[in-house]
Amino acid sequence: MDQVAEAAGVSRATVSRVINGAPSVDAKIREMVQRAIADTGYVPNVAARSLVTRRSNSVALVISEPDRPDNNSFLNRIFTDPYFGRITAGATSALRPHDIHLVVIPTDSTDHHQVVRYLRQGHVDGVLLISSHEQDTLPRQVHDLGIPAVVAARPTAPIAVSYVDVDQRLGAQLAAEHLLDRGCRTLATISGPLDIPSGLDRLNGYRDYLTRRGFSSVPSIEGDFTRAGGESAARELLAAHPAIDGLFVANDLMAEGALRTLQDLGRRVPDDIAVVGFDDSSAALDCRPLLTTVRQPVEEMAAEMAEVLMAHIASPGRLPRSVTFQPSLVIRESA
Amino acid sequence: MDQVAEAAGVSRATVSRVINGAPSVDAKIREMVQRAIADTGYVPNVAARSLVTRRSNSVALVISEPDRPDNNSFLNRIFTDPYFGRITAGATSALRPHDIHLVVIPTDSTDHHQVVRYLRQGHVDGVLLISSHEQDTLPRQVHDLGIPAVVAARPTAPIAVSYVDVDQRLGAQLAAEHLLDRGCRTLATISGPLDIPSGLDRLNGYRDYLTRRGFSSVPSIEGDFTRAGGESAARELLAAHPAIDGLFVANDLMAEGALRTLQDLGRRVPDDIAVVGFDDSSAALDCRPLLTTVRQPVEEMAAEMAEVLMAHIASPGRLPRSVTFQPSLVIRESA
DNA sequence: CTGAAAGCGCTTACAG
DNA sequence: CTGAAAGCGCTTACAG
């Protein structure tokens, strides 16, 4: 920096000002400094800058999952999950124009401690937190830290924190409506885990709507949001209720598994039984027949999370707020 | 830090020493300082530390892809690709014990400039670089930067840089051998893109081995490593060469697509035609029938990349080296 | 083994 | 609009 200042014949303060785009710099001087920067190939040291600005220009994406025995497969599951992939893509696209980088931190309760320490050390200016399971203590810990944070989906505990969500109940209702419209009369559902809000909300949204439409009972079975789980849940459900002709599956991955089971069972989709998924992830296009599903605009939601987080970082006093996206039905072949 | 020093009745230098585990500190003093740290809830400021140590304790994972028109789908493709997911998982698991964090940076040539600037600014201590396409100038740029770097797979250009790879040719040979062993006599292959080493090596490895085994020609068609690409390539290949009874597909994703085409065409797998994939990614288990495939230990390779990178960071003078993993055949149902 | 002091490379009131 | 100077919060030779 001294070199640049000398080359341009100004002080380091002025060099700093042109680098940071201070409006007060004389145009000619600005130009000279810029030339000097180009000539010397000078690049500011970010650590020194962070030390005084108290900004790191990066944020953490913390993905908090329930504990599982095998840690290796834990990382694997996270990094190959299409939902998390879409979140990462959406957040990256919103952050990039602001030159803010993303540090991805997968965690389960065994290393909450390390994550909290990382956040406290000032590595990042804020955190995007994905936490779905009910017992997770991380949202509260992050909240208590006082670091700017935005959570994906409504937190299970009532914490004063900003979050972004999709209208889960409405999505489930869209699925029910469509199944009814195409003439299905015996409806059922494979739900997500019922200890997380999205699992519960989709089940309740589906049931409540059908109740209003005169259904007295709607068979359901709890799934785990995995393909394999969808396969076995469908098998069990169909065994207990062979007459089902319309099925809402709470995410696309499970729907893909269910479709496989139906094929094995010789049920034609959608003729014998119509199937609607949830997410509109890439898995929906991997299904045969192509999956009709409730679209959740995950990328846009993640981008919004990033925007809200940047707003919190810029104005620390900002009150928490939630933004809810509308789901939409994407009709393809399965229903 | 001053608070801690005061509380413990020592100098800041001593506090710093116990935090950094300097061996020279008296046990009693160490204990007092640790108690003071716990009492005050002190957490070191990383920017200040980085400023003097010149270490950031984080590394970048740069994923460099060919240019595509739609940038949004670009991020999406990257973050939902199982190969990149496995890389991220493997690198994370190796880095985590050393408390080194990973900043994931997807890029195409439109923002090479920003990536280079990011690396120069000292945000990270080193870079893990995934770059597969031949025209990519990023590996050379990173090399010229002089920052510690490890590349996944042999670079297309002869650059003096450390890399980690799997023995691609051997993998293809394993596939050929197995197809021959099970009695296939009319062999073909769907290759990867031929402008990237892994695509070319797998094709050549397959062909060369079959040549040695007396085959005069082996039909092949160039694919693009995507599921859809595998579907159409298989259709084209089978139309031109209906007698094929053994097919090596250069990655699992394309194999999944090919399997679909074969099902559409009414060819039984493996009875009419045996199929072997490459990767042993999660896609192999999504196939019906389950895919027989050449396993590439991607997680372990990524972990090794991280280890080699850390070694380079620790000893800047270290000469570049390459490490090659052995592939293995995983026999399931498709061949 | 410990402390006083210098220094890492920036930014930003404060004067002028 | 610009510069001199203080200061951000650490680590690390250098003495002792």
**The CATH homologous superfamily of the domain defined by A168-295:** Response regulator (3.40.50.2300)
Confidence of residue A41 (pLDDT cuts 50, 70, 90): confident
In this structure, is the CB of residue A29 within 7 Å of any atom belonging to strand D?
yes
Which of B46, B51, B96 is closest, CB to CB, to A122?
Answer: B46
Question: How confident is the model at residue A71, as a pLDDT?
Answer: 58
DSSP string of B230-277, one letter each residue: HHHHHHHHHHH-TT--EEEESSHHHHHHHHHHHHHTT--TTTT-EEEE
Query: In chain A, which residue ranges form alpha helices assigned H by DSSP?
Result: 2-8, 12-19, 27-40, 46-53, 71-80, 82-95, 112-120, 138-145, 168-181, 197-212, 227-240, 252-264, 283-286, 298-314
pLDDT for A221: 98
CATH architecture of B2-44: Orthogonal Bundle (1.10)
- The minimum CA-CA distance between A215 and chain B, rounded to whole Å, is 36
Q: Which of residues 35-74 of B touch strand D (CB under 7 A)?
A: 42-45, 48-49, 51-53
Q: Which nucleotide is nearest to A28 (CA to C1')?
A: D1
Give CA–CA dist A220/A186, Å, rounded. Answer: 12
- CA-to-CA distance for B313 and B209, rounded, in angstroms? 40
Helix (H, G, I), strand (E, B) or coil at B153: coil
Q: With contact defined as beta carbons under 8 Å apart, do B164 and B152 qualify?
A: yes
> What values do phi and psi take at A148, rounded to 5?
-55, 135
The spacing between the Cα labelled CA in A2 and the C1' in D4, in angstroms, equals 14
Question: Would you say residue A116 has pLDDT above 60?
Answer: yes
Q: What is the model's pLDDT at position A70?
A: 63
Query: What is the spatial distance between Cα A220 and Cα A203, in angstroms, rounded to a whole number?
Result: 8
The answer to whether A223 touches A200, Cβ cutoff 8 Å, is: no
Count Cβ neighbours within 10 Å for each residue of A24-51 and write b for 16 or more, e otherwise.
ebeeebbebbeebbeeeebbbebbebbb
Domain boundaries, chain B: 2-44, 58-166+298-325, 168-295
Write the CATH number of the domain with boundaries B58-166+298-325: 3.40.50.2300
Residue B41's Cα: distance from chain center in Å?
Answer: 39
What pLDDT was estimated at residue B72? Answer: 59
Asked whether residue B15, judged by its CB, lies under 7 Å from any atom of the DNA or RNA strand C, the reply is no
pLDDT > 70: what percent of chain B?
99
Chain B nearest-CA residue for A114: B99
Same CATH fold, B168-295 and B2-44? no
Dist. CA B195–CA A110, nearest whole Å:
44
pLDDT at A283 over 70: yes
Contact A329, A174 (CB under 8 A): yes
B89 φ/ψ angles, rounded to the nearest 5 degrees: -65, -45
Which residues of chain B register pLDDT less than 50? none
Give contacts of B145 with chain A, Cβ < 8 Å. none
Strand C contacted by A1 CB (< 7 A): yes
What's the one-letter identity of residue B318? R
Q: Which of B229, B231, B230, B210 is nearest to B219 (CA)?
A: B210
Tell me the residue type at B237.
L
Half-sphere exposure of B261 (CA within 13 A, CB side): 24
Q: Which residues of A touch B99 (CB under 8 A)?
A: 114
B120 exposure class (CB count in 10 Å sphere: 0-12, 13-18, 19+): middle
pLDDT of residue B269: 95
Sequence letter at residue B242: P
Contacts of A86 in chain B (CB under 8 A): 76, 79-80
Strand partners, B107: B64
- The three-class DSSP label of residue A132 is coil
Please give the Cα distance from B102 to B92 (Å, whole number): 7
**A303 burial via Cβ count (<10 Å: 0-12, 13-18, 19+):** buried
Separation between Cα atoms, residue B247 and residue A238, nearest integer Å = 37
The answer to whether the Cα torsion of A323, A324, A326, A327 is positive or negative is positive
Share the mean pLDDT of chain A.
92
Q: Where does residue B239 rank: exposed (0-12), middle (13-18), buried (19+ CB within 10 A)?
A: exposed
Q: Average pLDDT in the A191-211 region?
A: 95
Q: For residue B224, give the DSSP letter.
A: -
**Does A110 have pLDDT greater than 90?**
no
What distance in Å separates the CA atoms of residue A47 and residue B217, rounded to the nearest whole number?
59
Cis peptide before B155 (omega within 30 of 0): no
Sign of CA dihedral A297, A301, A304, A306: negative
Contact criterion met (CB < 8 Å) for A227 and B286: yes
What tens digit of pLDDT does each residue of A154-181 get?
A: 888 888 999 999 999 999 999 999 999 9
pLDDT of residue A303: 96
Q: Which nucleotide is nearest to B27 (CA to C1')?
A: C1
* R_g over Cα of chain B: 25
Which of A147, A144, A165 has its CA nearest to residue A156? Answer: A165
pLDDT digits (tens, 9 = 90+) for A82-100: 889 999 999 999 999 999 9
